[in-house]
Structure 1
Amino acid sequence: MSGPTGAQFEITYGHARAVVTEIGGSLRTYTVAGVDYVESYPDDTHPPMGSGAVLVPWPNRVRGGSWPFEGGTEQLELTEPERGNAIHGLVRKLPWQVINHTGSLISLGIDLPAEPGWPVPLRVTISYALDERGLTVTHGVTNVGDRPVPFGVGTHPYPRAGRSATDDCTLHLGASTHLPLSPQTMTPDGPPVPLAGTELDFTKPKSLRGVDLDDAFGGCEPGADGLVRHRLAGPDGSVEVWADPAFKWVQVYTADDFLGRGRAVAIEPMTCPPDALNSGVDLITIAPGEAWSARWGLLPK
């Protein structure tokens, strides 16, 4: 099959099934026993609202599209012109190449060249694997250039609590802070503030009914098992979004008009906050020849 997202790659394990796209290397569907655990869309449709996107070499936004590097300034294309930002990295609209495809696993890669606004070439990979623990997604980045470069990684799934309506769900985040964002640019407008006791306190399960979010949360600390855990729970199922400690941030976005669904919620693990290429907060610097990897996943409950 092909369409706006290119070829479609299916993996299965028992009653679980996922479909990954060639364009963007993104997650289009994930079902268990026929029940959706991410918001999906038809294979001949452009991904709505960043659904399933891989966000490399930065997640979220770069204010003004400019950022400092080696004493100069790099200027990225303003891919969110209405807010004057570069948004969601450079690879989500490009074709990826299959590295390995078995029954329950697919790995894809893409070479990101040096280009205006991005000075150092990278090799980027992603693997999706199904097993008894659910869906595990592994990101890889290798510096194939000759200079160190900072970067960040994010992803943009819209998890579903099975057949539960979004407004019937509660959200529980493994985060402890909220990052104020400018409503004009959606980039940082002050330091992180503690979540506890605020109207955005998702440190305990909180209903999403009537709640509109496009917010960055930080202080995502792992539990005793070494993983950060966020959970969406409803009357007809729940799903956990877990992540390695490298994913210190999470963006949560509620959409009122997701294709074929209406109200939906994105829970987006990120290694750094919005505009990190300027602030430097939680950026990862990778040396020439160095490789980095980290995982996140979805676990239906």
Structure 2
Amino acid sequence: RRRAWRVIGMGASAEAGAWVTTEIATREEAVSVAEWPFPFRLSLRVSLLAGRLRSDVTLANTGDAAMPFGVGFHPYVPTPLGPRGDADACEVEIDATERWRDFIDPPATVTPVAEDEWPRRPLPLAEIAPVRRTEAGVSRNATFLRRGSDGSRGATGRLIDRANGLEAVVTCSPEFPAMVFYTPPGIATASLEPHTCIPNAFNLTGPGRPDPGLVVLAPGETWSGWYTLHAARLR
């Protein structure tokens, strides 16, 4: 996370908006196998068009062995989304079918999410149970997966601010079926985090276990996915 990315292109136009493309490659950057055991080339294109922020990521396995991997983003938005109301009244909704717990210490506990329960039903922050309490405040952290039969889209998350008539929406390509919801203690912000897999997926796979979504690239294979973040007025 401390390595610099190389800027390989940038520009702006009425059709594409403003954009910048960056890249990091393990061989060019002399990344040691101790830091990451598989050679790869990773590019990230960030664009802004009509108030919609989009991140496109492409990963290529440049080695001669199969490479497991996971990608996650951590976009934060302030709560509330405007001058009225307060953070606790903001609601969170995630289109998920499973909730994952205890995945740091396998085996994970996976439970289905019914249509009438959170996060498929919006719930105010004040009613979402914290996982940690500190002098600075409470922290909330919950992990979900959308397992759809059609595979047409990934996870979708909404932060709804009825006092200001606004919502922040995170939309993902099918390559991002997982989403982590997090609020840090003492900071009025929330994160709806797109993930390609459940965190710690490397240690969660195995016979008889639920699929955490770990992606494995063959030598020379390329993977790509995207997510968007935008604000919209509530209807």
TM-score, with structure 1 as normaliser: 0.61
Aligned to 2:167: 238
Aligned to 2:185: 256
1:119 maps onto 2:44 in alignment: no
* Higher relative contact order, chain-length normalized (CA < 8 Å, sep 6+): 2
Cα separation, 2, equivalents of 1:242 and 1:222:
18
Cα separation, 1, equivalents of 2:159 and 2:147:
16
Displacement of 1:191 in angstroms is: 3.0
Q: Is the contact made by 2:95 and 2:156 (CA closer than 8 Å) also made in structure 1?
A: yes
AA aligned to 1:278 is: N
| Aligned alpha-carbon RMSD (Å) | 2.5
Q: Is the contact made by 1:219 and 1:249 (CA closer than 8 Å) also made in structure 2?
A: yes
AA aligned to 1:174 is: D
1:99 maps onto 2:18 in alignment: no
Count, aligned residues: 202
Equivalent position to 2:67, from 149, 157, 176: 149
1:166 maps onto 2:93 in alignment: no
- Identity percentage of aligned residues: 26
Cα separation, 2, equivalents of 1:289 and 1:195:
37
Aligned to 1:268: 193
Q: 1:248 to 1:224 in 2, by over 3 A?
A: closer
Q: Is the contact made by 1:254 and 1:266 (CA closer than 8 Å) also made in structure 2?
A: yes
SS of equivalent to 1:155: coil
The runs of 5 or more residues in structure 1 that have no matched partner are: 1-91
Cα separation, 2, equivalents of 1:93 and 1:271:
21
SS of equivalent to 2:53: strand
Q: Following superposition of structure 1 onto structure 2, how do residues 10-89 of structure 1 map, counting pairs within 5 Å?
A: none
Q: 1:97 to 1:165 in 2, by over 3 A?
A: farther
For residues 202-243 of structure 1, the C-alpha deviation after alignment (integer angstroms, 9 at most, x for no partner) is 111111115322121112549997453211010222110000
Q: Is the contact made by 1:180 and 1:189 (CA closer than 8 Å) also made in structure 2?
A: no
Equivalent position to 1:110, from 24, 29, 34: 24
Q: Is the contact made by 2:155 and 2:178 (CA closer than 8 Å) also made in structure 1?
A: no
Aligned to 2:209: none
The runs of 5 or more residues in structure 2 that have no matched partner are: 13-17, 131-139, 206-211
Large movers: runs of 4+ above 6 Å: 222-225
Q: Is the contact made by 2:42 and 2:58 (CA closer than 8 Å) also made in structure 1?
A: yes
Cα separation, 2, equivalents of 1:114 and 1:291:
21
Q: 1:249 to 1:157 in 2, by over 3 A?
A: same
SS of equivalent to 2:203: helix
TM-score, with structure 2 as normaliser: 0.77
